[in-house]
Amino acid sequence: MSITNFLDKKTRVQTRYPLTEPILTPGGKQVHWTCPFCQTTQLTSTENSYNTIGRLSVGVTKRGILGIHYSAIRCLNGNCKELTLTVAVGNYGVTDAGRPTLKNVYNEWKLYPSSNAKPQPDYIPAAIVSDYREASLIVDLSPKASATLARRCLQGIIRDFCGIQKDKLHDAIQQLKKDVEEGTANRSIDPATLNAIDAVRKVGNIGAHMEKDINLIVDVEPSEAMLLLNLIESLFEEWYVARHNRDQRLQEVVKMAEGKETQRRPKAPADATGADT
Ligand SMILES: [Zn+2]
């Protein structure tokens, strides 16, 4: 996800298990799906996905007649083939076409994988990725604990990538702004990225909390905790991955140039006679 559009997308919020419209209906409708393990987008089919809605035959509960929906998908990427498994509980009903459906979802569980955390490359420091993974894991269960870890993760990124050591996240961001304005910041940090950090800082309670101690647990809305995670994912992509890819490309150019130089050298004595070819 690009840094410029992640604020609008809020992907995690919108992709909460939409059980009124199951991932794959029992009729076998194909849908676009992205594997949480390898991030490959693909069309599901009856060959690699299975989901069903069943009535929980326990009588009428205080929430009415309940049903359970589970969905299992096998990734079609030959190098991945991972299983993704989700379960949800809601009100059981039957559509006009006679198919079972869930009308309201009371709870949902990502059984496997247990969070939406995206796999991250090993050149991002392990402590930073670990905070990100843990924050992703608990975002539904405890947004405030997730946001606390996410703030710590964000501070770790700014310390590691930008070389800014400040006790408070708010101060670290102010220093980063100053560095960018004065042209002394890491060259990979462009103003668009900084604007995104600033935009998140202004959302709801997040900004106020950035001024407080990083370890202080404070109340936030689930959508705010999601936003912080989306920001972190964007920084991974825009800073670490972009820098790594650029370094790789430049190393290849150097290698190619050295190769050319080696090829040219044996011809040097012949050229030295003054002949053109
Ligand atoms: Zn996969």
* Span from the CA of 79 to the centroid of ligand 1 (angstroms): 8
CA of 231 to the centre of ligand 1 (A): 23
- Assess whether 64 and 132 both reside in one domain: no
Distance 90 CA to ligand 1 centre (A): 28
Residue type, 248: Q
Question: What separation in Å is there between the alpha carbon of 243 and the centre of ligand 1?
Answer: 25
Q: Is residue 119 part of a domain?
A: no
Q: Tally the domains of the chain.
A: 2
Structure token pair of residue 160: 């590691």
Shared domain for 238 and 134, answered yes or no, is yes
User: Which residue is it, tokens 């676009």?
Assistant: 32
pLDDT value at position 235? Answer: 94
Domain boundary among 112, 135, 166: 112
Which pLDDT score is estimated for 46? 84
Q: What 3-state DSSP class applies to 193? A: helix
Residue 55 lies in a domain: yes
- Greatest CA separation for the chain: 99
The verdict on residue 200 lying in a domain is yes
The span from the CA of 68 to the CA of 39, in Å, is 27
Sign of dihedral through CA atoms 114, 117, 122, 125?
negative
Q: How far is CA 64 from CA 86, 118, 275, in A?
A: 22, 37, 94
In a domain, 118, yes or no: no
Q: How far is the CA of 109 from the centre of ligand 1 (A)?
A: 19
Q: How far, in Å, is the centroid of ligand 1 from the Cα of 30? A: 17
Single pTM value for the model: 0.67
Structural domain harbouring 107: 6-112
Domain final residue, candidates 85, 112, 139: 112
Mean pLDDT by 10 residues, the chain (277 residues): 42 35 49 87 88 93 95 93 93 90 87 87 94 91 87 92 89 90 84 84 68 68 87 94 94 90 67 49
Same structural domain, 248 and 131: yes
Domain shared by 14 and 106, yes or no? yes
The answer to the question of residue 268 being in a domain is no
How far, in Å, from the CA of 39 to the mean position of ligand 1? 6
Distance 14 CA to ligand 1 centre (A): 21
How many residues are given for the chain? 277
Predicted confidence at residue 125, as pLDDT, reads: 96
